[in-house]
Amino acid sequence: MTHLPGTEESYWMETAEGPVHPALGDGLEVDVAVVGAGVAGICTAWELARAGRRVALLEADRVAAGVTGYTTAKLSAQHGLLYDRLRGASGAEGARHYARSQQEAVEHVGRVAAELGVDCELERVPAHVYAESEEAVDALRTEAEAAREAGLEASFVRDTGLPYPVAGAVRVEHQAQFHPRKYLLALVADLVARGGSVHERTRVVSLDEGEPCRLTTEAGYEVVCRDVVVATHYPVFDRALLFSRLVPHRELVVAAVLPADRDPRGAYLTQEGNTRSVRTAPYGDGERLLIVTGEKFEPGAGDVGARHERLAAWTAERFPDARITHRWAAQDNATTDGVPFVGPFRPGSRHVYTATGFGGWGMSNGVMSGRLLSALITGDAPPWASLYDPRRLHLREAPALLKAQGSVLKHFVGDRLPSSHVDGVDEIAPGTGALVRAGGRHCAVYRDEDGVPHAVSARCTHLGCLVLFNDAERAWECPCHGSRFAVDGSVLHGPALRPLEPRALPGTEGDG
């Protein structure tokens, strides 16, 4: 729980409402079905419609309202300190391909927004990765040189525009920031105008990968198509076991109104202090909206309220004139080698593709994925396609892979983690949740504000890890691959497709 001021909603969600699209109510035959209407799915569907394909975009919830509605919405080819690492892992050409594909995505948004006449608050800004400690300066200088060698206009600087001193920063010119929902809702409207079909509240529950491919929705309707794109953030129907090479994390966001003359006029990131990301957006007259993201943690790690308060305190200390108006949380997955998986779904796939593992850089990666997947499907792959191919497996992934799998194992046998369990329902305070053993099984019990317990199975329906309670957002979270469930067990976020089963507690009635 937290007592921070402001509304518990994403600013992007609050300020851009989209039309309702009907749930699929009949069978459908198209050229390409795109599953998942976040940034990657929308961009892919739109590119394909523009290329003349008959496209269906299928979303389990609402368009651009999942992870994409809760982003920081930086549009940048600078992704932390990636270029020096990439140069070592994929060679100079790999780093050049990465920089080119990401910078092209940034430019593409500008071109498309102009072409469609979309006011998506697109602003060109320099991006910075900075450090406050002098020990980090050598690494920043090396990164600036690697990013420049990769083709970006990068330099090492001491002056950043931030209102607090830093030891140094890598500055990359010609980056951008925008209102993600204003841009993506306009793409969806244009997709519909081009004859594409968009269906919300349409959860796809099975994929038959053949010629043609067949998808089945939860309501039992079939979509027949030549190609399928699985753009569900964490890939569902994961026969290539990509989940074992993806690590989920959550981050918290606060937004605060700032006098316009205090705007640092750039995008910023530091990996110090459990990461802090800073940008601003247009707001009222003479004001800007400061958006600060940070406090990275594993889903289910707990203490979310305290983490949010730390982030708010950091914001108040660094930007004393800022008044907090909104707060929310974001989730993403990182791949074990730091480069997203975009391309054929598994080694034998001829007509099924995926895009995932954006590592917190969903905007440029989502736009890049749309262009890449559309090009793969229309038979015109760019020279950098192989860099993102999910079928790659680098030996240097091995340590990160083992670490990720060790974490999964720990949460699968989570009954040995005493901190997640209480001895009885009476120990659970109203408005909170904990795990309880009942009848030899693990129950996830939420006690509502009236004191009524609501019990569901604590075994995640994806692969059976034990879920944990998020106190600030009142949700059950799976630490293994990031599935999230409401307190009644319904799925908020995959890869889980099925809800947590209701459970009866000894001596309680009602929730079964």
Contact between 493 and ligand FES by CB under 6 A: the answer reads no
Rounded CA-CA distance 436/321 in Å is 45
Q: Which is nearer to ligand FES, 381 or 463 (CB)?
A: 463
Rounded CA-CA distance 70/59 in Å is 17
Stretch that binds ligand FES, among 86-94, 212-220, 365-373, 473-481 (CB under 6 A): 473-481
Least distance to ligand FES, CB of residue 404, Å = 12
Least distance to ligand FES, CB of residue 512, Å = 22
> CB–CB of 397/367 below 8 Å?
no
Q: Which is nearer to ligand FES, 22 or 464 (CB)?
A: 464
Q: Which is nearer to ligand FES, 227 or 238 (CB)?
A: 238
Contact between 463 and ligand FES by CB under 6 A: the answer reads yes
Both tokens assigned to 219: 């309501």
> CB–CB of 478/496 below 8 Å?
yes
Contact between 481 and ligand FES by CB under 6 A: the answer reads yes
Residue 77 exposed, middle or buried by CB count within 10 Å (0-12, 13-18, 19+): buried
Least distance to ligand FES, CB of residue 462, Å = 3
Rounded CA-CA distance 497/511 in Å is 21
Contact between 442 and ligand FES by CB under 6 A: the answer reads no
Stretch that binds ligand FES, among 197-205, 377-385, 413-421, 476-484 (CB under 6 A): 476-484
Stretch that binds ligand FES, among 195-203, 304-312, 363-371, 457-465 (CB under 6 A): 457-465
Rounded CA-CA distance 21/58 in Å is 10
Contact between 465 and ligand FES by CB under 6 A: the answer reads yes
Q: Which of 249, 462, 493, 503 binds ligand FES (CB under 6 A)?
A: 462
Rounded CA-CA distance 201/461 in Å is 20
Rounded CA-CA distance 372/388 in Å is 9
Q: Give all strands (DSSP E) within 163-245, no chain letters.
A: 168-177, 197-199, 204-208, 213-217, 222-230
Q: Which of 204, 254, 376, 496 binds ligand FES (CB under 6 A)?
A: 496
Q: Which is nearer to ligand FES, 146 or 242 (CB)?
A: 242
Find the Cα–Cα–Cα–Cα dihedral 57, 60, 65, 66, rounded to 10°: -110
**H/E element, 444:** strand 441-447
∠ CA 120-125-126, rounded to 5°: 150
Contact between 480 and ligand FES by CB under 6 A: the answer reads yes
Q: Which is nearer to ligand FES, 97 or 459 (CB)?
A: 459
Contact between 236 and ligand FES by CB under 6 A: the answer reads no
Q: Which of 28, 40, 86, 460 binds ligand FES (CB under 6 A)?
A: 460
Q: Which is nearer to ligand FES, 298 or 397 (CB)?
A: 298
Residues that bind ligand FES (CB under 6 A): 460, 462-465, 478, 480-483, 495-496
